[in-house]
Amino acid sequence: MPDAAYAAKAECDDPIDAVARIGYPGRLALSITEDEDDKECRFSVAGVSAGSPPAEQLEAAILTLRNAQPLFQTGADLFGNAPVLNAVPLLLAAASPRDQADPRLLNDDFQQGVAACFVLASEKYLPPDFRNISEFVTGQDVNSNVENYGVTCAAATPDAVDRLNEFLGGSVRLSDIEVPVLAFRNEREDGLTEYLFIPVLPN
């Protein structure tokens, strides 16, 4: 899968006085953490550690998600696929100042909810020919229980990115994306807010 290409942008403005922006290859995963205590917006592209969980764990998580892309699009039931489902808590923390994933998210019940979120990336919700199609779906559409853990999930085509930004709360915003994304937002009990954007790549 080529990493090159589509330039996308993200910005974060909640815990800081100005706006922090990053441009990144839109075919790579992006993690953002809002740190209210230290007044920081932190970014990680493709699971590169930003003071977060160990780099080798993040690298393995990114590779797992890349290899699982065909499963996302078919809508395969991922419950029981621990490597894929455990990648989400790890990569949510990729830009975090904490050295481990949110411990609340490391259980079977949360994994079941994440598995439902991945259904949003299937062709049922995000058609293969997504150009000029505005599609936006949330975890509620697939009865995901991740909200029980302070997490929300949603997926959007490029033409629906404004709806995704609004759904995520408005302080972190994507723009100029050229492939659909599956998004997770986690409010940790320690005051951090973590975001993970996974590109949904056409076959």
Decide if pLDDT at 40 tops 80.
yes
pTM of the model: 0.92
**Confidence band for 43, pLDDT divided at 50, 70 and 90:** very high
3-state class (DSSP) for residue 56: helix
Task: Show Cβ contacts of residue 115 under 8 Å, excluding neighbours closer than 6 positions.
Answer: 77, 78, 79, 81, 85
Decide if pLDDT at 3 tops 50.
no
**What span, in angstroms and rounded, lies between the C-alpha atoms of 135 and 153?**
14
203: β partners:
none
Q: How many residues does the chain have?
A: 203
Across all residues in the chain, what is the average pLDDT? 88
- Largest Cα–Cα distance in the chain? 43
**Confidence band for 203, pLDDT divided at 50, 70 and 90:** low
